[in-house]
Amino acid sequence: MFTLNPRDAKPIYLQIKEQYIRFIVSGVLGAGEKLPSVRQLATQLSINPNTIQRAYAELEAEGYCYSQAGRGSFVAQRTDWDTSRRDALIAQLQSTAQALRSLGMSEAELTALLSKREEV
């Protein structure tokens, strides 16, 4: 399920966190579903448990999951993270678009860019 890229400059805890966000946002992991325990995932990925712990802590801080002592961590309701994330992305989209305008890009060109999905 997880792909960790050791060559990436991105810290491992962030790679884990961002993959979880992708899974949760896309619905691969539904609200209420249980995340693997810190120890379990650490063993599975051959990684230090501290690293997993940090990823989980940030996910929880941003409302993507919640943890219950003794039971584990679970995917949160969409309402807990939806709005703030959306707002952040919208702000970023608009500021990037603004930067492209200041390089002389027209509205038509900007709109055209959106229809071309990036490949990666």
Partner DNA sequence: GTGGTCTAGACCACA
How many Cα atoms sit within 13 Å of 99 on the Cβ side? 6
Asked if 18 is part of the footprint of DNA (rule: CB under 7 A), the reply reads: no
Asked if 39 is part of the footprint of DNA (rule: CB under 7 A), the reply reads: yes
Please select the residue that binds DNA; options are 7, 71, 116, 117, rule is CB under 7 A: 71
Quote the CA–CA distance of 120 and 113 in Å, as a whole number. 15
Least Å distance between CB 62 and DNA? 14
Quote the CA–CA distance of 54 and 48 in Å, as a whole number. 10
Quote the CA–CA distance of 14 and 51 in Å, as a whole number. 9
Task: Report the interface residues with a second copy, using CB under 8 A.
Answer: 6-7, 9, 11, 22, 25-26, 61, 66-71, 74, 76, 82, 85-86, 89-100, 102-103, 105, 107, 110-111, 113-118, 120
